[in-house]
Amino acid sequence: MKFNCELNFSLVFVLLAFGLLKTVLCVRINRLNVPEVAQLGDPVVLDCDYTLEESLDDGLVVKWFFNEKPLPVYQWIPNKKPQERGILKGRLNLNYSASKDTNSVHRALHIIEPGPDLSGNYTCMVSTFTSEDRKTKGMLVLVPEKNLELRQEYIGNQMFQLMCYAEGVFPKPSMSLHIGNSEVNNTKVVVQERNGLYDIKAVAEIPSLEAPEEFSCELHIPQANYTVRKEAIYYPVNGGDTVFKISFLLQCILVTFFHLPLRFG
């Protein structure tokens, strides 16, 4: 097996001069297993599978970095306890073993409950006294909607409003309304950020129906290849304005009835 080692020749020369270097130790990362999409709250493992040219651990250090920040969020040295830092502090299972090899047993990140703030790029760097290798991959933590509601309301003048909304989504979503297989072109979409998550609402005004129609709302998160759809069939009602008035009148009658004084005899 051939290794493409990035050697620090100045350091090697110094070590050789003092007789401290017996074997040049090369390291190579074979695979960086980082899921493209993780689910909110579901434990996830980010694994850094590497190989050492010799069965030595001279200066071996495994570090993980998050979003190109200079300080590592995780560090492990063989025969020492792993250290979690920064955004991963208190969020890792430090007892997780990725391998039985003492030189790679704690090479991985076992995130207990990933949240949307852990979406980003993860870099694994494995180094020895004489060489190092690093790889980077991105992970998105998907937060599905808490609910997806599709409603319609008569607004007068033979028009009604079609509205769809969802709460607590990450990352930033998009939304569309449909009648049958056709998208409603005059849809207004509003997205608001709240506590790191997104609420989204789509609204459109539609002429009163002349025949039953299937309406649908689609919530999209392209980065996660995630789409959810809500459907409903609405039926035409003659004189929507009249229906509203009858409903209001009935409510008034009931209120009046329950406030009539009781008389006996």
Q: Is 148-258 in the same CATH topology as 9-142?
A: yes
Q: How do the residues of the chain divide into helix, strand and coil, expressed in percent and rounded to 5?
A: 15, 45, 40
Hey, how many other C-beta atoms are within 10 angstroms of the C-beta on 125? 19
For the chain, the structural domain boundaries read 9-142, 148-258
Which carries the bigger pLDDT value, residue 260 or residue 130?
130
CA distance to 14, 20, 25, 60, 131, per residue, from 17 (Å): 5, 8, 17, 21, 18
Q: What is the pLDDT of residue 238?
A: 58
CATH of 9-142, one of 3.90.1310.10, 3.30.379.10, 3.30.2010.10, 2.60.40.10: 2.60.40.10
Summarised one tens digit per residue, pLDDT across range 154-212 is 887 888 889 999 999 999 999 999 998 899 988 999 999 999 999 999 999 988 877 88
Cα separation, 101 vs 148, in Å, equals 48
CA atoms within 13 A on the CB side of 90: 1
CATH class of 148-258: mainly beta
pLDDT tens figures, 143-168: 999 889 999 888 878 888 899 999 99
23 or 90: which carries more pLDDT confidence? 90
Query: Cα separation of 151 and 149, whole Å?
Result: 7
Q: What six digits make up the tokens of 172?
A: 């930033």
pTM metric for this prediction: 0.75
pLDDT one-digit tens code per residue, 112-151: 999 999 999 999 999 998 889 999 999 999 999 988 999 9
Distance CA 114, CA 38 (A): 8
